[in-house]
A and B are shown apart, each in its own frame.
Chain A
Amino acid sequence: MHSEHAARRPTDHSARAHHRKSVEKWHKAAYAALFFFLAAIAVQCARLGAAGLFVQTAQIELDRSTAASRSLGTPAIPVRTPNIVAVRNATHYFSSSLDYVSDNPWALEGLAALDLARMRTSKIPREALDATRSAHARFRQALLLRPTSPFLWANLALSKLYLDEIDDELRTALKQADALGPWEPSVQQTILFVGLAAWPDLDPETRTVLERTLARGSLRNRQKLLEIAKSYRRFDLVCAIDKYVEIAGPDCRNALAPPVSGELKKQGIH
């Protein structure tokens, strides 16, 4: 028995040693794999961090510049007018962000917004059209990665309006923006601005979306929505909602009052 045990011991010992070595080898391999995995994650995080940092820097640059300037657009849809240096810097930061993460949706959205700003300042139709096309393409690309962003959907609709393409894509964008960001004031403003411009080409469902947006906006955002509706002379829509009548009383009364006979005659209506 003893001899048998003695005879078997060296074999066990070597097997155990072999097993230990094998385990160690596996451990090493696992550690190496883990190391590379963590390193890859660290690199990816660093890239994402750098990309995000560039977007933040661009945003700060634009905000700082915009704060120093007055907006040019309609009061309700403020058009950012950062100075040329800020735009150049921001473009550089957004582009640098894309160098780290080529499809960073925030950078794409920022560049698209700058495209629209370029469109507004351009006096050359061809250039303005190219800028709008570029904005539209970037909003679409960004939406592939952030399909739940109501801002992107609203901006996509805006770019479609500027392209003079009132089609299903625009109508879908309006509906999606409303569904994803029903209480976002800037989304409400953009939906109303685009929707009223495209009103004759909207289907009943999308028109209902606009009416719902107006109704919701009356609770928190009525002043700005009223200004937009007034710029389209759509008193028929706003004056049907009590909250708007409270602040637009005279406008609603004047707009909805029947014209006096002299005016009727002038308009050729008898």
Chain B
Amino acid sequence: MITIAVMRKAASGFGALCALLVGAACSSAAWAQVGYVHEVSGLVAIQKASASARSTKAGDTFESGTRFRTGADGKVIIKFADGQLVTLGENSGLRVGQYRYVAGDLRQSSSELELMKGELRFVSGFIATAHNEGISIRAGESIVSIQKPGGADFVVTVNPDPQEAGFALVAFGEISVRTPYGPIHKVASDQYAPWRPGRTPPEPVPLAAAPAVVQAAAGELLATVLPAGAPVTVALTAHSVGASAAAAQAELAAKIDTRLAGYVDAVSNAVSMQKTSGGSVAAAVGTTFEAGTTFNTGADGRAVLKFTDGQVVVIGPGSTLSIDQYQFDPGNVKASKSVLDLLNGAMRYITGSIHAQNHEGIAITAGASIVNVLTTGPADFTVVVHSKDTDKLQEVGVARVSLGEIGVFTPFGPISKIETDRSSLWGPKKTPTDPIPVAASLAVVQAAVALQQSGLPDNTPVAVAPAAFAAAAQAEANRAQAAAAANPENARLRAAAQAATQLANSTLQAASAADEAVASKVMTTLLESLPSTAAGPALAQVAAAPVAAPIPLVVPSVTPSSGGGCTGSVC
């Protein structure tokens, strides 16, 4: 009996200890989480005290010591436990300093923020409303103080290079700023106060008298819709925000991915794209496009396009390619289609999932000629057309096949079949030549080889939005690394390159996960569409089925041209 009693006591003691430990762990975690990410757009990295930088998403929590960094189009809204809101604009860096929120005793509460560069909008929470001395905001070398209890809503911008310049703009409340060039005693509602190197800060002026760029930048931040400023339980709210953001993103991705045809994976020199909505824009890495878009490359321009179904198109110099129709539904590939029209110039085409599962869904015209992919398996070919004075009967063309078989109906007669590693030529008053080995063909054929660059993306299906985002992040990382390599002494550039690379890696991981989801959906659709055999839908059949398999794309004979403003992942 005694033994049992002892054991019971020991067990209850152990239970209490466990409960204490769990409770301590929970309260420690709760104490550590000072806020959460409410909304993110564009490139935004988060770096917690003891971890490397990664891209952030709505619902992420953070603690004191966390750093946020936004890219060229990045913006993030973070919310603290007391309801304090901070919006970080583009190209900005923020460190969350010591934060302590004691709901029952706001005099014991405090919040420290450090804006290293860029722009920040601060909207006070409970701490600043009741105890304004508890708020400390450093912007570069300047210190911003809230002058009165009752709250404040203001924007601070600071640029530390080469010497600190910045401004503060108040929408509500009253602040003061101690700058390296002198104090600004009072900036009231609707006032703007700049500071610049080498001069005493002038008296604040009305916001309406601020420079145009300041009005626009601040207007954008002040127009941002913020969540309510009430205190929150960080973990619970973060979980809820994260879940709803993920659901919204999934819904949006589902909508967008059916609307978007693909994205620009790499660009060299001048490439423009004309959208159906009107207006011509320069194509950049990561730019998405829809059906109806026309690409134009300059005399030395080149672009690599990746489509949702995985098909890859490389557009050569001096070319015009129109994406007449494009529709890809991973859940219904049989109903998907792709209609491309090369109006002039050179194009390399690599088949994707639409071709693999719905051969009839592919239509390619090149000038006045029609290109048919004859094989049901993967194909990779290049076609070059040149029409003199837009007269189709003056058309000169070349087709070169690297993988698979194609046929071409030219204005001068059909070319029934061009096999792997063969090419064919057509032109006015000339019957199309019989396909001949590539090495023996004319110089113009060799020109088509220029599109046989290595380092293209593979031809598996993608989720366009995250893939485009990853491509843009990779291009940004490439640029940052090049800048760092050019100035090896500059620690700031080195750090920026490292951060950009980390961010690119994390976005790539996110994109890969999304791509896998799309590929899995395509595979599931395929499995469902296969006829059942006596042994059931044998996986052996799947292996033999025409699912777009990655094609080895490295063609060692030609290397991509170096330099010339190349900004893509192939650089």
Residues of A that sit less than 8 Å from B by CB: 73-74, 77, 79, 119-120, 122-129, 131-132, 161-164, 193-194, 196-197, 199-200, 231-233, 267
Contact = CB atoms under 8 A, between A and B. Distances in A.
Contact of B212 (A73, A74, A119): A119
Contact of A74 (B185, B208, B217): B208
Given A125-B217, A200-B202, A132 B212 contact: yes
A268 to B, nearest CB: 9
B560 interface: no
B205 A127 contact: no
Contacts of B220: 123-124
A53 B219 CA distance: 36
A77 B220 CA distance: 22
A68 B197 CA distance: 45
Contacts of B11: none
Contacts of A194: 209
B203 A164 contact: no
Contacts of B202: 199-200
A124 B216 contact: yes
Interface in B212-240: 212-217, 219-220, 223
B211 interface: yes
B208 A127 contact: no
Which 6 residue pairs of A and B lie closest in terms of their CB atoms, listed nearest first? A128-B216, A164-B211, A197-B209, A123-B220, A125-B213, A132-B212
B182 interface: no
Nearest to A119: B212
Contacts, number: 63
Contacts of B205: 196-197, 232
14 contacts: A74-B208, A119-B215, A122-B212, A125-B217, A127-B216, A132-B212, A161-B211, A164-B212, A194-B209, A197-B205, A199-B203, A200-B203, A232-B203, A232-B205
Contacts of B214: 164
Interface string B246-286: 00000000000000000000000000000000000000000
Dominant secondary structure of chain A at its interface with chain B:
helix
B206 A129 contact: no
Given A200-B202, A232-B203, A233-B203, A120 B215 contact: yes
Contact of B216 (A125, A196, A231): A125
Given A124-B220, A232-B203, A267-B185, A193 B209 contact: yes
B197 to A, nearest CB: 15
Interface in B155-213: 185, 190, 202-203, 205-206, 208-209, 211-213
Contacts of B213: 125-126, 128-129, 164
B206 A231 contact: yes
A126 to B, nearest CB: 8
A121 to B, nearest CB: 8
Given A197-B205, A200-B202, A232-B205, A162 B211 contact: yes
A233 B209 CA distance: 14
